[in-house]
Amino acid sequence: MMRLIAFLRDSAREAVSGWMLQVMLGLAALVVLFIASISLRPVPVEEQLGVMTNAMTQQTRFRPGYAEMGSPVFSARNVRATNPGVPWQSDYAFDFVIGTASPEARAKFKEGVRAAGTPGSRSGVVLLVKSAFSYLENVEVQSAAAGEADPSEVVYTVTSRGTSIKDTTEWRHVPSVLFAYELPGLLMSPHEYIYLIEKYLINGAGAWLLLAVSVVVTAGFVPNMLGKGTIDLLVSKPVSKPFVLVSKYLGGLTFVLVITTLAALGVWAALGLRTGLWSPNFLLTIPILTFYFAVLYAVSTLAAVLTRNSLVAILATLAAWAVFWAVGKLNDGVQSRYDAEAKQAQGAAADDDDEEANPFAPKGAKAGIDPDAPLWRVVPKWAFPVVRAVHTVTPRTYQIDERLARTIAAGVLSPREMKESGYGKPPRETWPEMIGVSLAFIALCLTLACARMVTRDG
């Protein structure tokens, strides 16, 4: 045990001496400070309606036919709430208004929106409100009496009774960054903000940067150890070459574990102090990212033993990383195709579990699937079994990344938000399967590396 600790200490000293470690720590500190500068302001329904109707006005300006109808302007007015002090426990009523340039343009507009589901029709307004405000319940839309409306306007009265939101943490907020600059239009709940920060900023860009830099930093551990005279000095003590190699491997993992722990704890503390929401699930980022790197470092170690070249080890690891991700992505697409074909064969309707109805969706978007068509128009059908076979024996880095995102989401999002974020279905692969296949790959790489070290002279 003391020898192992000595090797781990030597690996840590080798990593700390590099300038990239200081850069990584500096970047992590900047990210934590940036997150600490974020604040959230709850947004009243009037403001939320303004954002939605402004977006609709901008979208319809570029849609065929709407210019001929007078380029309608959407707005909401006369917003009433039964309990404005606690908006998530309130009933709502407001007028949804489509303004046109003239009474003649209004008549042309009404003639053009007779089709059910068109944004300016009554059923279209129902779909719009339900898609933009999924938390409103019992939504009803009625046409306003003709004599009460401006001759150039189309007016609908929208009412709702109750919401699906439980407390303020699910209510929509707008963020401010750097303690002062508000970002209008980004209306989400604190749960969703935390999820996006943890998933995309930390588990996304941050994690990939951390892993890439760690690959570079640790790539020289084994080649330096195998330098002339160094390995002879190490094995002159009562230790074997495989022991030395595995110790170096564990030293690299320890380095990544420490960096990941410091960064994750800093982000977790900053988010918790700023929002009052503490998600223990996010801390699972530490062991999962370390395990993810263990797969990559196994490739790096094997390449380093075979070539004794740090650059080759880096390139081989990055190439393997890309291959693992591509295989996982392809397999996910193939499985989705098989599931869709099976559902189509059973005569089932298109799966809407994870999607809200979109009144702007083009007609015919749910056409039947051609079973012989290439996946994403580039992967031929004959390659599907090959993809699945390769996926069976390769590490599950893509799936581990996806499952970590789901784990983060489960720690902060409500059941409704989970469904809206695309996590309405159970995952396809279990943790034991993903970890088992990845561990077998790590063991294979280390076994081959150790075997090469034992048979190699010098």
Contact indicator for 351, 365 with CB cutoff of 8 Å? no
Whether the CA torsion 178, 183, 188, 189 is positive or negative: it is: positive
Tokens of 50: 């303004």
Contact indicator for 197, 35 with CB cutoff of 8 Å? yes
Question: How does DSSP classify residue 201?
Answer: I
Residue extents of the structural domains in the chain: 2-38+189-341+351-455, 45-168
* One-letter amino acid for residue 350 of the chain: A
Whether residue 284 has pLDDT greater than 70:
yes
Within 8 A by CB and 6+ apart from 440, the residues are: none
Within 8 A by CB and 6+ apart from 266, the residues are: 28, 29, 31, 32
C-alpha 280/C-alpha 262 separation (Å) is: 15
Task: Return the higher-pLDDT residue of 129 and 355.
Answer: 129
Contact indicator for 113, 123 with CB cutoff of 8 Å? no
Distance of CA 129 to the CA centre of its chain: 26
How large is the average pLDDT for residues 11-22?
A: 64
Tokens of 320: 């393997």
* Residue-level pLDDT at 149: 58
* One-letter amino acid for residue 15 of the chain: A
* Residue-level pLDDT at 439: 95
4 band by pLDDT with thresholds 50, 70 and 90: low
Tokens of 72: 């309608």
Whether the CA torsion 437, 439, 442, 447 is positive or negative: it is: negative
- Residue found by looking up tokens 């009243």 in the block: 44
- Residue found by looking up tokens 């707005």 in the block: 75
* DSSP H or E stretch at residue 96: strand 92-99
C-alpha 256/C-alpha 250 separation (Å) is: 10
Whether residue 339 has pLDDT greater than 90:
no
Note the maximum CA span of the chain. Answer: 99
Beta strands across the sheet bearing 153-160:
73-81, 92-99, 153-160, 140-143
65 band by pLDDT with thresholds 50, 70 and 90: low
Distance of CA 312 to the CA centre of its chain: 31
C-alpha 214/C-alpha 370 separation (Å) is: 44
- The residue length of the chain stands at 458
* Residue-level pLDDT at 362: 42
Contact indicator for 71, 128 with CB cutoff of 8 Å? no
Give the E-state strand segments of 328-368 in sequence order.
Answer: none
Q: What is the pLDDT of residues 192-201, one digit of tens each?
A: 888 888 888 7
Q: What is the pLDDT of residues 158-212, one digit of tens each?
A: 899 989 888 888 888 989 888 888 887 788 888 888 888 888 877 788 888 888 8
C-alpha 384/C-alpha 389 separation (Å) is: 9
Whether residue 90 has pLDDT greater than 80:
yes
CA–CA distance from 136 to each of 133, 160, 196, 331 (Å)?
6, 6, 23, 38
* DSSP H or E stretch at residue 194: helix 190-196
Contact indicator for 140, 158 with CB cutoff of 8 Å? yes
How large is the average pLDDT for residues 296-322?
A: 92
Least confident of 110-119, 285-294, 387-396: 110-119
C-alpha 428/C-alpha 333 separation (Å) is: 12
* Residue-level pLDDT at 233: 46
Q: What phi and psi values does residue 405 have, to the nearest 5 degrees?
A: -60, -40
CA–CA distance from 105 to each of 68, 154, 304 (Å)?
8, 11, 73
